Chains A and B, each alone.
Chain A
Amino acid sequence: MNPNWAEENLQTIRTLMERSALYRRALAPVMITCGMAGLAGGAVGWLGKLDSYTAFVAVWATTAVVALSCSLLLMRRQALRDSEPFWSAPTRRIAQALAPPFVVGAIMTDVIFGTANDEGMAIAAILIWCLSYGCGIHAAGFFMPRGIRWFGWIFILAGLGLITFLFSAPVPVWAFISPHLLMAAIFGGLHLAYGIYLYFTEKKNPA
């Protein structure tokens, strides 16, 4: 018998324990909050006619910060209620999985500035956000219940569908589509729909 078998067994146990520790907090309130923030952001941008690229990015960066802050508060409240650490190992892994695509999305938002007119740039930003957000959610889904990965795929497919639609359209369609309403539909609508679905299907007292 290998003299190090006990040490190897311990290492295997450690690896398996790390791999199987999933993030199990109730996600319905977080998704619904993000959905509401998305719809509110769309309404503010559209009704306020904040159509320049800078204003568009400012509206949605603010919306993202509000949604993220509210989500973190909800997650912290759940952790406190269950007497568990907020910044747990699964939470850290989710943050690490989300970080690279989110950083790419943020940098690309700046890179596309000046590549087209305002509406064109806003649509390009939406494409990039859909793809990077979808990739981030999909990556984080490996440390969360399985359905989250499908949610990530929906964003990726929405981004790819939008690219296909824009390239196949005979006229520049962004002239007829409000980028704010598109964002509200994609980000607000999808989060809200998924949150409502989770509300009715998620265990009410997550283990």
Chain B
Amino acid sequence: MNPEPFLQLDRVIHEKGRLGIMSALAATPELSFTELRETLAMTDGNLTTHLRILQEGGFISLAKSYQNNRPLTTCSLTKAGRKAFADYINLLEQIVRQNKG
């Protein structure tokens, strides 16, 4: 088995929680912190930690605003994040093909 694709997988995205965040954000232009938390059934602290790591990696951007006088944090994939996610999917597909072949 060729280990090459596996070694190329982005370690930041590959973590289960962060992969969930990236997947959810890939399907929609943006999601609020609350929507992400409900979709992924994560705790506030856990989600905040993962979001910070992804933001530091340049995969996502966070926008803070107010809606009805309440703070609203909106998350979206950056261009680099979208590309990294697409690359990650391609590598996974390669690995699946390799396993089947």
A-to-B contact residues, CB < 8 Å = 3-4, 6-7, 9-10, 12-13, 16-22, 24, 146, 201, 207
Contact of A201 among B23, B31, B67, B96 (CB under 8 A): B67
Q: Are A20 and B24 in contact (CB under 8 A)?
A: yes
Q: Kindly report which residue of chain A lies nearest to residue B6, judged by CB atoms.
A: A6
**B interface residue count range (under 10 / 10 to 19 / 20 to 34 / 35 or more):** 20 to 34
Contact of B39 among A3, A6, A16 (CB under 8 A): A16
- B-side binding surface: helix, strand, loop or mixed? helix
Q: Kindly report which residue of chain B lies nearest to residue A18, judged by CB atoms.
A: B27
Q: Are A146 and B34 in contact (CB under 8 A)?
A: yes
B93 contacts the other chain (Cβ, under 8 Å)? Answer: yes
Q: Are A20 and B31 in contact (CB under 8 A)?
A: yes
Q: Are A20 and B92 in contact (CB under 8 A)?
A: no
Q: Are B99 and A4 in contact (CB under 8 A)?
A: yes
B-to-A contact residues, CB < 8 Å = 19-20, 23-31, 34-36, 39-40, 67-68, 76, 89, 92-93, 95-96, 99
Q: Are B35 and A6 in contact (CB under 8 A)?
A: no
Contact of A24 among B29, B34, B40, B68 (CB under 8 A): B29
Q: Are B99 and A17 in contact (CB under 8 A)?
A: no
Q: Are A12 and B99 in contact (CB under 8 A)?
A: no
- Total CB contacts across the A-B interface at under 8 A: 60
Q: Are A16 and B28 in contact (CB under 8 A)?
A: no
Q: Kindly report which residue of chain B lies nearest to residue A9, judged by CB atoms.
A: B92
- Knowing A9-B19, A146-B34, A146-B35 are in contact, say whether A20-B96 is a contact too (CB < 8 A): no
17 cross-chain CB contacts under 8 A? A4-B99, A6-B93, A6-B96, A7-B96, A10-B89, A10-B92, A10-B93, A16-B23, A16-B27, A16-B39, A20-B24, A20-B25, A20-B31, A22-B28, A22-B31, A146-B35, A201-B67
CB-CB < 8 A to A13: which residues of B? 19, 23, 26, 89, 92
CB-CB < 8 A to B76: which residues of A? 207
Q: Are B28 and A19 in contact (CB under 8 A)?
A: no
CB-CB < 8 A to B23: which residues of A? 12-13, 16-17, 20
Q: Are A16 and B93 in contact (CB under 8 A)?
A: no
Interface hub of A9, A21, A22, A201 (most chain B Cβ within 10 A): A9
Expressed in whole angstroms, the minimum distance between the Cβ of A79 and any Cβ of chain B is: 14
Q: Are A3 and B68 in contact (CB under 8 A)?
A: no
CA distance A145 to B36 in the complex (A): 12
CB-CB < 8 A to A20: which residues of B? 23-25, 27-28, 31, 35-36, 39
CB-CB < 8 A to A16: which residues of B? 20, 23-24, 27, 39-40
CA distance A20 to B72 in the complex (A): 18
Q: Kindly report which residue of chain B lies nearest to residue A197, judged by CB atoms.
A: B68
CA distance A21 to B92 in the complex (A): 22
